[in-house]
Amino acid sequence: MAYSFPEEVLEHVFSFLSLARDRNAVSLVCKSWYEIERWCRHRIFVGNCYAVSPEIVIRRFPELRAVEMKGKPHFADFNLVPEGWGAYAYPWIAAMAEAYPFLEEIKLKRMVVTDESLELISKSYKNFKVLVLTSCEGFTTDGLASIAANCRHLRELDLRESEVEDLSGHWLSHFPDSCTSLVSLNMSCLGSEVSFSSLERLVARSPNLRTLRLNRAVPLEKLANLVRHAPQLVELGTGAYSSEIRSDTFSSLADAFSACKQLKALSGFWDVVPSYLPAVYSVCSGITSLNLSYAAIPSSDLVKLISQCQNLQRLWVLDYIEDSGLEALAASCKDLQELRVFPSDPFGAEPNVSLTEQGLVSVSEGCPKLESVLYFCRQMSNAALIAIARNRPNFIRFRLCIIEPQAADYLTLEPLDAGFGAIVENCKELRRLSMSGLLTDRVFKYIGTHAKKLEMLSIAFAGESDLGLHHVLSGCDSLRKLEIRDCPFGDKAVLANAAKLDTMRSLWMSSCSVSFGACKLLAQKMPRLNVEVIDERGPPDSRPESCVVERVYVYRTVASRQRLDMPDFVWTLDEDSSMRYS
Amino acid sequence: MSAPLLGVGGDEYQSNITLLDSSSLESVCQNGSELKERNYMGLSDCSSVDSSPLSNTPEYSPSGLNLKATELRLGPPGSLSLGRHSEHCPVSSAAIDEKLLFPLHPLKSLVTGNKRGFSDAMNGTSEGKHLSASEVDAVLSPRHSLNPIIKASKEVSPTQPTKVKDAVYQGAALEMPHAPTESRPGHFAAANNNYASAPATKAQVVGWPPVRQFRKNTLASTSKNNEEVDGKASTGASFVKVSMDGAPYLRKVDLRTYSAYQGLSSALEKMFSCFTIGQYGSHGVSGGEMMSESKLKDLLNGSEYVLTYEDKDGDWMLVGDVPWEMFIDTCKRLRIMKSSDAIGLGEFIFCS
Instruction: State residue B301's pLDDT score.
Output: 56
> A66 vs chain B: nearest CA distance in angstroms?
28
Least CA distance to A215: which residue of chain B?
Answer: B218
B42 with A410: Cβ contact below 8 A? no
Considering only residues B9 and A72, tell me which one the structure prediction assigns the higher pLDDT.
A72
DSSP, residue by residue, A517-533: HHHHHHHHH-TTEEEEE
Asked if residues A105 and A64 have their Cβ atoms less than 8 Å apart, the reply is: no
**By the CB < 8 Å criterion, does A294 face chain B?**
yes
Instruction: State residue B303's pLDDT score.
Output: 55
> pLDDT band for position B224 (50/70/90)?
low
Instruction: State residue A256's pLDDT score.
Output: 95
> pLDDT band for position B263 (50/70/90)?
confident
Q: Is the pLDDT of residue B102 over 70?
A: no
Question: What CA–CA distance (Å, rounded) separates A329 from A309?
Answer: 9
Least CA distance to B13: which residue of chain A?
Answer: A464
**By the CB < 8 Å criterion, does A177 face chain B?**
no
Question: What CA–CA distance (Å, rounded) separates B351 from B338?
Answer: 13
Asked if residues A333 and A315 have their Cβ atoms less than 8 Å apart, the reply is: yes
Cβ atoms within 10 Å of A579's Cβ, excluding its own: 18
A-chain CB neighbours of B199 within 8 Å are 349
Residue A242: partners with Cβ closer than 8 Å, 6 or more residues away: A220, A270, A271, A272, A273, A276, B234, B235
Instruction: State residue B120's pLDDT score.
Output: 37
pTM of whole model > 0.80? no
A488 with B77: Cβ contact below 8 A? yes
B5 with A401: Cβ contact below 8 A? no
Instruction: State residue B276's pLDDT score.
Output: 54
A-chain CB neighbours of B234 within 8 Å are 242-245, 271, 273
Instruction: State residue A301's pLDDT score.
Output: 93
Asked if residues A342 and A321 have their Cβ atoms less than 8 Å apart, the reply is: no
Residue A149 phi/psi, 5-degree rounding, is -75, -35
A486 with B187: Cβ contact below 8 A? no
B-chain CB neighbours of A81 within 8 Å are none
The closest alpha carbon to A240, from A217, A259, A222, belongs to A217
Least CA distance to B236: which residue of chain A?
Answer: A273
A511 with B77: Cβ contact below 8 A? yes
> B318 vs chain A: nearest CA distance in angstroms?
26
Percentage of chain B lying above the pLDDT 90 cut? 1
> pLDDT band for position B299 (50/70/90)?
low
A491 with B40: Cβ contact below 8 A? no
Q: Is the pLDDT of residue B277 over 60?
A: no
B-chain CB neighbours of A405 within 8 Å are 76, 111, 205, 208
Residue B86: partners with Cβ closer than 8 Å, 6 or more residues away: B51, B53, B54, B171
Least CA distance to B83: which residue of chain A?
Answer: A349
Instruction: State residue B321's pLDDT score.
Output: 85
Instruction: State residue A456's pLDDT score.
Output: 98
Question: What CA–CA distance (Å, rounded) separates B301 from B306?
Answer: 7
The closest alpha carbon to B177, from B212, B139, B213, B225, belongs to B139
> pLDDT band for position B103 (50/70/90)?
very low
B233 with A245: Cβ contact below 8 A? yes
Pairing of strands A184-186, A211-213: parallel
Residue A237's SS3 state is: strand
Instruction: State residue A181's pLDDT score.
Output: 95
Question: What CA–CA distance (Å, rounded) separates A270 from A291?
Answer: 11
Choose, out of B214, B221, B224, the residue to mutate when testing the contact with A (most A CBs < 10 Å). Answer: B214
| Residues of chain A falling short of pLDDT 50 | 581-582
Instruction: State residue A290's pLDDT score.
Output: 97
Determine the average pLDDT of the residues in B143-167: 37
Choose, out of A109, A297, A404, A439, the residue to mutate when testing the contact with B (most B CBs < 10 Å). Answer: A404
Omega into B209 within 30° of 0, i.e. cis? yes
The distance between the two most distant Cα atoms of chain B, rounded to a whole number of Å, is 87
On average, the pLDDT of chain A sits at: 94
Q: What is the pLDDT of residues B119-128, one digit of tens each?
A: 333 333 333 3
Choose, out of A246, A413, A509, A541, the residue to mutate when testing the contact with B (most B CBs < 10 Å). Answer: A413
* Lowest-confidence segment of A564-568, B89-93, B297-301 by average pLDDT: B89-93
**By the CB < 8 Å criterion, does A342 face chain B?**
yes
Instruction: State residue A2's pLDDT score.
Output: 52
> B236 vs chain A: nearest CA distance in angstroms?
7
